[in-house]
Amino acid sequence: MTPAELSRTVLGAVRRAVEEGALSGPVPERVKVERSRPGGSGDYATSIALRLAGPAGRQARDVAEVLKARITDNPGIARVEITGPGFLNFTLGDDSAGALVRAVREQGKRYGYGDGLAGTRIRFAPAGELRARVITDTVVRLLIAQGADAAVAPGGEERITAVPAHDDGRQNDGADDGLFARVGRDAALWALLRPAAHDRPLPGDGLLVQNEGNALFRVRYAHARSRALLRNAADLGFTARIAPGTDGIAPAPAGPAPAPAAHAAPATAAETDPPTDAPASPLLTALGDHPAVIESAARLRAPDRVARHLEATADAFLGFQHTVLPMGDEKPSATHRSRLALAEAAGTVLAGGLALLGISAPEHL
């Protein structure tokens, strides 16, 4: 179960509870779930019971109990706990990582798109200044990705403002487009979108340097590296695959270390168990959070949130990618195939996020 699916599951439980008369009050448009904080319980948590308690005229823990009863037996959720004043905490099933990767592979670059804003009509006033124009166009893409009817149109009721591309506050008269000519479209867009609208844009020239200090290069390099791993794996005779009904990615329970491949003639249990390396966890977290980041960026008109999340995803991938291919005399195993599937999913998420920002994701870099 992905975080987006978990959110829809909880929302469905709220809707059923209201329809059945177990709770009173309006059904919210969405339910926010987030990673459990340090010291918390389970994988994800939500404060929806506290939000519903007032309209329902009930204690938050009572509301949480009503929802827990309607969520507990849901496939993909191993355990539901109530903590504190009424927080619902969810531990996902053993196949949660595999389900996440399969969802990314099935949905492709549209992973993270949703219908949370379906039925919403938004019209933006045309922006004259370069940066405001770029942010407005990007926000429109984000809103459409969440199901909204969004566009820029004369007389639009909403207007986006930003610290101008020139720090002297001049309005754009067309000359600011020289930024695109000087550093190229991709670097110019990142320079304008990566900082929040109330912050100054980045100096474009630094985004042309190809080193790890350049966040744009790091994100695009991570995407190119994910594609290179697929090509390298094909040369070694194996492809990405997650066996149905198995996790194949998340850390396995502690146990005996797998025998070195050079001494292992037949396939051992360690070869078919999920990999035990911790670097997969931050990457799985980043991929799982991607839909919520896109939705929140759309609602808050904040494409910088997508850019920052792409940086975090790229960094998590670069910390994981060294585990994907066999080493030395090691033979490709089920573990390698599942890791390759995770690497492929990471590249897909990076490409999809960059596309929402209007930035290309090259296969080679």
Residue 150 is inside which H or E element, if any?
Answer: strand 149-152
Q: What percent of the chain has pLDDT over 70?
A: 87
> How much is the pLDDT for 297?
95
Distance CA 207, CA 256 (A): 46
CA-closest candidate to residue 268, choices 334, 341, 338: 334
pLDDT tens sequence across 336-347: 999 999 999 999
Distance CA 27, CA 9 (A): 13
Inter-residue contact 203 to 161 (CB < 8 Å) = no
Inter-residue contact 351 to 109 (CB < 8 Å) = yes
Q: Among 69-73, 241-245, 313-317, 347-351, where is mean pLDDT lowest?
A: 241-245
> How much is the pLDDT for 268?
33
For 306-325, what is the mean pLDDT? Answer: 96
> How much is the pLDDT for 177?
62
Q: Please provide the size of the chain in residues.
A: 365
pLDDT tens sequence across 256-303: 333 333 333 333 333 333 333 457 888 998 998 899 899 989 999 999
Residue 78 is inside which H or E element, if any?
Answer: strand 77-83
Higher-confidence residue of 74 and 111: namely 111
**Is the alpha carbon torsion for 280, 221, 212, 205 positive or negative?**
negative
Inter-residue contact 123 to 153 (CB < 8 Å) = yes
Inter-residue contact 142 to 356 (CB < 8 Å) = yes
Cα distances from 43 to residues 69, 247, 277, 315, 329, in angstroms, run: 19, 16, 18, 21, 37
> How much is the pLDDT for 99?
85
Pairing of strands 44-46, 121-124: unpaired
Burial classification of residue 172, based on how many CB atoms lie within 10 Å of its CB (0-12 exposed, 13-18 middle, 19 or more buried): middle
> How much is the pLDDT for 243?
62
